[in-house]
Structure 1
Amino acid sequence: MSKYLLIMRGTDETNAAMMADLDQMMAATHRFIEEMMKAEVLVAAEGLDDPGQGVVVDFGGEAPVVTDGPYGETRELFGGYFMLDVATKQEAVEWARRVPAVRGSKIEVRRVAEADEAPQGGESDGRT
């Protein structure tokens, strides 16, 4: 089994569409979480606070610069995630296809690397 993150990515427009039908979206999400729990694949699920409440630490200069959110020119923002423990990437993708999402949003599927997979001596195996 491997862990995968299903990362919810949206825009200002998809977030507004979601908020317009918030009760319906929350009910659908609750049913989806129950399905994943019943299938015993859900490890964690969290939504993120409004991007305007966050900060950015930018390492582009000599010293890190901290600025308040939102994130400037970013076109997509992470809205939350589901972490699953499934047998294959394809199984994670199949769950991602079932996420209740509004038109225009995206779900990024990423495998969570195990601690023993960390590159040694600056080399990468290309999996992360």
Structure 2
Amino acid sequence: MTHYLISFPSGAMDATPDELPAVGEAAMAVVHAAREAGVLVFAGGIDETTPPVRVAGDGTITDDTYPQTAQLEGGYTILDLPTREAAHEWATRIATACRCAQEVRVFGEGSESR
């Protein structure tokens, strides 16, 4: 199976502040369905209230980020799926719940966490 990253930037959501609780419930329902299906690896979002830092190999901490990732935000789901088509199906479910299009990417070979 392959790990797929399904994600979106927070600004892409088409929901008013009053609608956010319902969006959150719908998103959690998809997460629970993925867990029940045995495909969930991770689901969560970036805490946009906490600024990022960079940590160097010598332990030096810098209060900034790489320019390429300055806008890293939003929600992220990692699913372990048999096909790209299955990833597209789950991305559709997440897009419906979160009210915005989802980006699908494939993770390369890496270490297993489970």
TM-score by length of 1: 0.63
The answer on 1:20 being equivalent to 2:18 is yes
Contact in 2 for aligned 1:8/1:79 (Cα 8 Å): yes
The answer on 1:86 being equivalent to 2:81 is yes
Q: Quote the residue 2:10 is aligned against.
A: 10
Deviation at 1:18, TM superposition (A): 5.2
CA distance in 2, matches of 1:106, 1:77: 16
- Alignment RMSD, CA only? 2.8
TM-score by length of 2: 0.70
Letter in 2 for 1:24: A
- Number of residues of Structure 1 aligned to a counterpart in Structure 2: 99
Aligned residue for 1:106, secondary structure, equals coil
Quickly say closer, same or farther: Cα 1:78–1:108, change in 2 above 3 A: farther
Among the aligned pairs, what percent are the same residue? 30
Summarize the alignment of residues 11-90 of structure 1 with structure 2, pairs less than 5 Å apart: 11=11, 14=13, 17=15, 19-50=17-48, 53-55=50-52, 66-67=63-64, 78-90=73-85
Pair member with larger Rg = 1
Contact in 1 for aligned 2:7/2:75 (Cα 8 Å): yes
Deviation at 1:41, TM superposition (A): 0.8
Deviation at 1:2, TM superposition (A): 0.4
Unaligned runs of 5+ in 2: 55-61
